[in-house]
Structure 1
Amino acid sequence: MDHDRPVGPAGRISRVETLTLGTAWRDFSYVRVHTDEGLSGVGEITHPYRSRETCLLTEAMAERHLLGADPFDVEEIWLRMYQGDFLRGGDIGGIVVSGVDQALYDLMGKALGVPAYRLTGGACRDRVPVYANGWYTGDRKPDAFAERAKDVVGRGYTALKFDPFGAGLGELSRAERIRSLDIVAAVRDAVGDDVDLMVEGHARFNFATAARLVDDLRPFDLAWFEEPLPWTHIERYAELRARASMPISGGEHFHNRYEFKQLFATGAVDIVQPDLSMAGGFTELRKIAAIADLHAMSVAPHNSNSPLCTTASVHAVAGLTNLKILETFDGMVEDYVFDALPGVLPVVDGSVPLPTAPGIGVELADEVFAEHPPSHRFWNMFADGWEKRNRT
């Protein structure tokens, strides 16, 4: 880093710390970046299962690449973190780069006194539409799914996503396939035709099973079928798309534009789903969205993280002209999670208003973190009962 260049109004990065909050579902992890001008910026570095490793790598990469840097040099810092460690990419490294990038935009917005979205192209909408996920914890029965779906719609959501397939992997038995389709049918009947439904495949099926499911799901008029195939078979996604009546979506597994390259080259999906806390933060998300636009694809960012990532994602997508909708799990987390993240934006009638506070607008309440230490829980998505997510 060049210390002879003029320094921006945030000063230089002087300290980096990580904090983790335990919940019944998973641990939520964050990075907080301090400058010598007394400012601090926050970003989300949640990993579904590897919170300790992610926090340790964040702190190590800070020592190597962040201390003394100007937070306004986001492109240089992004490249330094991605390329400087040489063995780059992957899930943990991708999350670290993404969370730090969020914190830098938070710092820049605070230093300039403007919301972060003003630094990423401004806005082309007054509110960001969101859909609910995580609402279907509990018994895997059609009537139970239907009741929970009606409850979510009653809270103002106009779009819902769910995985009806249980612990299915590769193939589904006849009984499990029928049960899964009965769940989808029950949800559609419960919420009516005016609510968008998305079915999640969690990248779990072989081609024959996925091809049969796109036919089976045709009557339910889905907004999309998400990740029906493993990404080890990305070359077959386009073949499946040609058979499907509904759009095919995916992309949450990729951590930067380079990993997305084959998805675009093969025309794998109709709807691209980068995650702000995995795909490279603000700096990279806009590039991925621009490439998606070049391929006539819309963007529906993945967001299975905490309300902080929801608020940060609202900033990131406010100016995306090819935005479809944003995911949120905010309705399934404990109340104290919101206490730990003062400033997060509420979901109201299925959308989130444009932010007004400088930066991302969220701080971390250290005392709440102290009251709810990491749980280090693990739930196996391919085990019976995974959909309960450690809840009964």
Structure 2
Amino acid sequence: MLTVNSTRPAGPAGRITRVETLMLGTAWRDFGYVRVHTDEGLTGVGEITHPYRVRETCQLAEAMGARHLVGADPFDVEELWLRLYQGDFLRGGDIGGIVVSGVDQALHDLMGKALGVPVYRLTGGACRDRVRVYANGWYTGDREPAAFAERARETVAAGYGALKFDPFGAGLGELSRPEFRLSLDIVAAVREAVGPDVDLFVEGHARFAFHTAARLVAALEPFDLGWFEEPLPWTHIERYAELRARAAFPISGGEHFHNRYEYARLFDTNAVDIIQPDLSMAGGFTEVRKLAAMADVHAMTVAPHNSNSPLCTTASVHAVLGIPNFTVLETFDGLLEPYVAQAVRGALPVVDGYVELPERPGLGVELVDEVFAEHPPTHRFWNMFADGWEKRNRT
């Protein structure tokens, strides 16, 4: 196994000299990033955002960087992935999985910059000329059908041809009869507002008991959904296939898993039709490509989860360009304050529901320290099982 004092000659990026992290505060959540330096004067960046534990991911990234990355050649991505996973005795999990994912992004960024090519040229090339995305986070407001419908129309008018939303409020386990009706009324209002040609994806946030999920699968059938996402908790993964057999639309999920080992039960049980690995949670480029291949063996497609910043959107675009069984990519970019794009300068923009082919070397993104200094982390927490969570700290 590679050691930091390896005598093997280094590649064109040189050797890693330093690993640093940055945090950016927004009204919704804090974003986390890792920046890896080499002795050739190059820097590579990756996203290490955790929904609630960004400070912890940054601390672990710096500690793991000192233990396993300094002195290494960033081109040795497979070995460095193994070093981070096995060498730190991680065995997966959310914080460690996010660190491995963001570091892997940064290593690929370094390789692309050293070779003068976009990252997607290193990860299978392009199977398509552009990447289709869908909007999430657009429904910040009152939880009632007319408000959802109005915001859905606005989002489609902005160019998106696919939307995802959670109509279920603070529901957990079961829904009362009024809550059940309200949730369905919201879905019906959105479908009527956007018409039959817009893809709608309904988010379950892994919140329902089986009998409630089964009732919802039947009740949602008239709305021609693109998928119903995570209707059951993953503690009941064996029942996903049973629910799939009842559904007239695809069942999706997988954002909670951080590598192929955690995904094994999902594949073994044929739990979903569409897997949703997150490039900043599921192991970065190195691991997501393997997950996509495993999904293909099981006749599943790939629609990556991405509730992160435009940096992860950009990295995900590079990744899915080379995935033949890709479906569509999630983005929250339209929800964010303008300064977020300024902080991750060069992130790929969404135009009319698509992201075009990247051209710049590496990921093409640089972190702008001055913007980070102006917007420090807030460390706020919003509870997805509390009334009004969907406003995400917005009015």
TM category (shorter chain) comes to over 0.9
Q: Please tell me the residue identity of whatever aligns with 1:127.
A: R
Alignment of 1:296-315 (within 5 A): 296-315=299-318
Select the residue among 239, 243, 248 that pairs with 2:246.
Answer: 243
State the match for 1:42 in structure 2: 45
Distance 2:163 2:296 in 1: 24
Corresponding position of 2:298: 295
Letter in 2 for 1:235: E
Alpha-carbon distance between aligned partners in 2 of 1:63 and 1:341, rounded to the nearest angstrom: 24
Q: Deviations over 1:254-296 (max 9, x none)?
A: 0000000000000000000000000000000000000000000
Kindly report which structure 2 residues correspond to 1:68-107, keeping only aligned pairs within 5 A, or say none.
68-107=71-110
Does residue 224 (structure 1) correspond to residue 227 (structure 2)? The answer is yes
The CA deviation string for residues 115-148 of structure 1, in whole angstroms up to 9 with x for no partner, is 0000001001000000000000110010000000
CA distance in 2, matches of 1:178, 1:103: 46
Report the CA distance between 1:164 and its aligned residue.
0.1
- Summarize deviations over 1:130-172 as a string: whole Å, max 9, x none: 0000000110010000000000000110000000000000000
* Structure 1 partner of 2:351: 348
Query: Take 1:25 and 1:386, find their aligned partners in 2: how far apart are those partners?
Result: 11
Given the alignment of the two structures, is residue 20 of structure 1 paired with residue 23 of structure 2, yes or no? yes
Hey, what's the Cα distance between the residues in 1 that align with 2:90 and 2:206?
Answer: 26
Q: Does 2:342 correspond to 1:334?
A: no
TM-score calculated relative to the size of structure 1: 1.00
Aligned partner of residue 359 in structure 1, secondary structure: coil
Q: Give the aligned partner of residue 193 of structure 1.
A: 196
Per the TM alignment, residue 88 of structure 1 is displaced from its structure 2 partner at its CA by: 2.4
Residue matched to 1:128: 131
Which structure 2 segments of 5+ residues have no match? none
Aligned counterparts of 1:357 and 1:117: Cα–Cα separation in 2 = 11
Partner of 1:208: 211
Deviation at 1:85, TM superposition (A): 1.2
Residue 5 (str. 1) matches residue 8 (str. 2): yes
Task: Say yes or no: does 1:182 pair with 2:195.
Answer: no
| From 32, 36, 39, the counterpart of 2:35 | 32
Superposed displacement of residue 4, structure 1? 1.2
Q: Deviations over 1:185-237 (max 9, x none)?
A: 00000000000000000000000000000000000000000000000000000
1:64: which partner in 2? 67
Residues in 2 aligned to 1:87 and 1:125: alpha-carbon distance in whole angstroms: 36
Counterpart of 2:366 in 1: which secondary structure?
coil
Specify the alignment match of 1:170 in structure 2. 173
- In structure 2, C-alpha distance between the alignment counterparts of 1:285 and 1:204, rounded to whole Å: 25
The one-letter code matched in structure 2 to 1:37 is E
2:122 to 119, 126, 130: 119
Q: Does the residue aligned with 1:161 lie in a helix, a strand or coil?
A: strand
In the alignment, structure 1 residue 149 sits paired with structure 2 residue 152: yes
Alpha-carbon offset, residue 98 of structure 1: 0.1
Contact 2:128–2:321, Cα closer than 8 Å, also in 1: yes
Is the 8 Å Cα contact of residues 134 and 164 (structure 2) preserved in structure 1?
yes
Query: What is the number of equivalent residue pairs in this alignment?
Result: 392
TM-score by length of 2: 0.99
Question: Following the alignment from structure 1 to structure 2, what is the Cα–Cα distance between the partners of residues 264 and 120?
Answer: 23
Deviations 1:288-332, CA, capped at 9 Å, x for gaps = 000000000000000000000000100010011000000000000
User: How far apart, CA to CA, are the structure 1 residues paired with 2:201 and 2:261?
Assistant: 27
Secondary structure, aligned partner of 1:152 = helix
Shift of residue 87 of structure 1? 3.6
Which whole-Å CA distance do the structure 1 matches of 2:91 and 2:49 have between them? 18
Q: In the alignment, residue 101 of structure 2 is paired with which amino acid? A: S
Q: Give the alignment's Cα RMSD to 1 decimal.
A: 0.5
Amino acid at match of 2:312: C
Partners of 2:90 and 2:96 within 8 A in 1: no
Distance in 2 (CA, whole Å) between partners of 1:97 and 1:86 is 12
Identity score, percent: 81
Return the offset for 1:86.
1.3
Q: Distance in 2 between matches of 1:87 and 1:120?
A: 25
Alpha-carbon distance in 2 for matches of 1:314, 1:113: 18
Moved over 3 A (4+): none
- Residue by residue over 1:331-384, the C-alpha shift from the partner in whole angstroms, topping out at 9 and shown as x without a partner, is 000000011111011111111001000000000000000000000010000000
Q: Does 1:361 align with 2:364?
A: yes
Residue 6 of structure 1, CA deviation: 1.8
In structure 2, which of residues 262, 268, 271 is the aligned counterpart of residue 268 of structure 1? 271
